[in-house]
Structure 1
Amino acid sequence: MDNDVFWNTVPAFAISGFSGSGKTTLIEQLVPQLVAKGLNVAVLKHDVHGVQVDYPGKDSDRLYQAGADVVLQGADECFVRRHGREPLSLQQSLQALVPYYDLVLVEGFKEAPLAKIWLLAEGEAGPPKDGQNVLAVLSRDAPRLPQALALLESWLPERWCRVPVYGCVLIGGKSTRMGRPKHLLEHQGRTWLEHTLDSVSQVVDKVVIGGRGEVPSHLSHYTRLADISDVPGPLAGMVAAMRWAPQSSWLMCACDMPQLSVDALRWLLQTREPGVWATVPDLLGDGHVEPLLAHYDPRARPLFEALLSRQCYSPSRLASQPKINTATPPAHLLGAWRNVNSEAELATFQNVIEKSP
């Protein structure tokens, strides 16, 4: 992702102002309000006077003074203290935080190309002339908390939906029950693969084909992604796609859903909102989800990587995470999720299609 795209999509908002303007106070008030809305919030602060976060003589400080970077893990919190041998830039710091947070509040950094609120200090008439992207100027006597909260509530959803959406059509299955490659089955003169690619192409910025398998020559212009090695099942293709474009969100689509519709894909994309890291539909409302026609935010990738680290290869396990939306699609769209795995199911599908108006 180039710099322009990064700064145009990163969910980071600055609270800026000169010393004594009340930056920390406002952020301290904002955080519990945002967390109560289900958001994971981080705060990035720069201190020109240096950082003092430990106590001399404590074991952790002694280890740090000896030259080690120190990680402390408690029951419900974790603390990392590292030496500033190569200080991180603002962009590097944000890139490290964004995969785990819905919003990063940045204190200070008035020259950064971030949307920001400028807080006026006592006797100050306005922000500096070189201030960039100042969306609001709040005086000392302004109702700062409600005004800042209202601005963030309108700004963050729009920023969230700027993230590019890619589509991955998965063809890596062995099709053992069908006895032949499902993605090459035909309906109305087109393969299921072609139907799926055409449908997904209408709602995303780029489409790729994930997994092994024969692809007709007239579809050879699509990017092919190899499955990651030593991982069984569709998770191998899903994680390969997310590693290939980690800053994009992904529509993951199996190739065996011949009734896939553009309207169903649009419904999935309409579920994007801050705090939702994936929409994995529960089709019947019974707790069983369909992860192979679903939308995944970039923040879902670390969750998938955690599954891999535990040698858990079922993508449906992601639904147990608190940031996952398992909404049931509208009834008129449910057919898009109906997959066909065997000759008997294929015959049923063909019979239904023939009888439909």
Structure 2
Amino acid sequence: MTSKEHKKHAAIARPNYGNFGRNEWAIIGTPCGAIKALADEVVSALSANYKCAYVDAQHANTDAEAVLPGRLGSGAAAEYTDQINYHQVDFNKELNPFQFRQLFSDMDLVLVNGNHQQAKAQVVVIDETKKASLQKRLSQLTNVAMFLLADNAAEAFDFVQETIPEWQQVPLYRLNQIDKIVAFFQQQMQLAKPVLNGLVLAGGKSLRMGQDKGAMNWHGKEQRYFAADLLQKFCTDVFISCRAEQQENIDSNYKTLTDTFTGLGPYGAILSAFREQPEAAWLVVACDLPLLDQPTLQFLTEKRNSSAIATTFKSPHDGFPEPLITIWEPKSYPALLLFLAQGYTCPRKVLINSEINLLQPLNPDALQNVNTPEELERVKQVVQNKSTTI
């Protein structure tokens, strides 16, 4: 008797990871020393703007293979060492791609020694000294992004041409043309910059205010729509985040995104957005910011650093990051889930304990939120004063 295939997981959008990260290239077809030298050149050129990582394997002689370093040799499963200038963690276990992706989740670019590990894209070096080795690894050439010719090669090997029918359309440089190789990776990183979506947080119950803050009219329309219209100028798509029971009351001209991480407030709304589109960055604004203006959003988007987990403002009130007027990059998704797994649902705590791009606000009033009737009266006066001076 045969049984139907059993699906054990829900069909949700998955981040576009490889074995280690979103943007990874295995360098293959040349000796390990040449791979390391090339990786050094690329990392040195890009590390000022991007977080770069390198993956390799350590060659060991037969006698040394059985000797584990440090306390691992005594039976420890893991050992962390603060090396003062850097940090080192050793594990005495096999790691799989799920664990690698978590370890490298903060990285923008991962270069891999393709002689030992695989990656979702490949840089193939045509080198006569490793011709036989490359021929054995043709199954690894799934997404060749660039060819590099060693000094001893004139063109791609015949078996490479047969394996990759469109090989002539793949960029080709000599291995010593470092400037062109670096330029290639710079272009790839620019192309990989996540699109920016907008998210207006309008799913709160407004208990302290006593009325729906998203429906309040400050500028001739409900604030949730005013904020969404502001975001349209800076974002590819804009959504109003709401609870499921609110959705039918939202103007159909605006896209909505209902909470799928319920009961977590703004934290759940941000996670719900990433669950929907994990490859996008999200410019998140609360619906209780009546003084939010276009110059503030323009400054935020112009100063965006996609290599950081988030770009946000320093609160003029307490000096902490302001999580509800923030660009959250895709790499913040696993960080948010990690904090949730440890029992924390405060987006500000994530920002405080992560590497972020923290900006001084051009207009501190734009960050003023309104949660209570008392705050409402103060901000009303500010809005009226601005109206009379225009």
- What is the TM-score of this pair, normalised by structure 1? 0.74
Kept after mapping to 2: 8 A contact 1:283/1:290 = yes
> Hey, what's the Cα distance between the residues in 2 that align with 1:83 and 1:291?
34
Moved more, 217-226 or 289-298: 217-226
| Partner in structure 2 of residue 137 of structure 1 | 173
| Partner in structure 2 of residue 177 of structure 1 | 208
Q: 1:99-248 to 2 correspondence within 5 Å?
A: 99-108=105-114, 109=122, 110=124, 111-113=141-143, 115-116=145-146, 118-127=147-156, 130=164, 131=167, 134-135=170-171, 137-139=173-175, 142=176, 144=178, 148-149=181-182, 151-152=184-185, 154-155=186-187, 157-161=189-193, 163-212=194-243, 214-215=246-247, 216-219=249-252, 222-231=255-264, 233-248=265-280
Instruction: Tell me by how many angstroms 1:191 deviates.
Output: 0.5
Q: Deviations 1:88-132 (Å, cap 9, x if unpaired)? A: 7xxx9997776331111244533443543x432232124455547
For structure 1, the residue ranges without an aligned partner over 5 or more in a row are 64-69
Kept after mapping to 2: 8 A contact 1:14/1:114 = no
RMSD: 4.0
> Hey, what's the Cα distance between the residues in 1 that align with 2:319 and 2:295?
23
- 1:43 is aligned to 2:72: no
Kept after mapping to 2: 8 A contact 1:195/1:258 = no
| Partner in structure 1 of residue 307 of structure 2 | 275
Kept after mapping to 1: 8 A contact 2:173/2:180 = no
Instruction: Tell me by how many angstroms 1:192 deviates.
Output: 0.5
Kept after mapping to 1: 8 A contact 2:195/2:281 = yes
- Please state whether the residue corresponding to 2:340 is helix, strand or coil: helix
| Partner in structure 1 of residue 65 of structure 2 | 55
Instruction: Tell me by how many angstroms 1:171 deviates.
Output: 1.7
> Hey, what's the Cα distance between the residues in 1 that align with 2:168 and 2:93?
31
Q: Deviations 1:196-242 (Å, cap 9, x if unpaired)? A: 122223322222332426353523762332252453x3212222222
Number of paired residues?
329
Q: Deviations 1:25-62 (Å, cap 9, x if unpaired)? A: 22145446655x37432335699x9xx9x93376979x
> Hey, what's the Cα distance between the residues in 2 that align with 1:119 and 1:28?
16
Kept after mapping to 2: 8 A contact 1:10/1:98 = no
> Hey, what's the Cα distance between the residues in 2 that align with 1:282 and 1:83?
38
Kept after mapping to 1: 8 A contact 2:313/2:361 = yes
| Partner in structure 2 of residue 66 of structure 1 | none
Kept after mapping to 2: 8 A contact 1:18/1:120 = no
> In the superposition, relative to structure 1, how do residues 167 and 78 fare at CA in structure 2: closer, same or farther (>3 Å)?
farther
| Identity in percent | 23
> Hey, what's the Cα distance between the residues in 2 that align with 1:2 and 1:313?
22
Instruction: Tell me by how many angstroms 1:19 deviates.
Output: 4.9
> In the superposition, relative to structure 1, how do residues 221 and 287 fare at CA in structure 2: closer, same or farther (>3 Å)?
closer
> Hey, what's the Cα distance between the residues in 2 that align with 1:21 and 1:310?
42
- 1:354 is aligned to 2:354: no
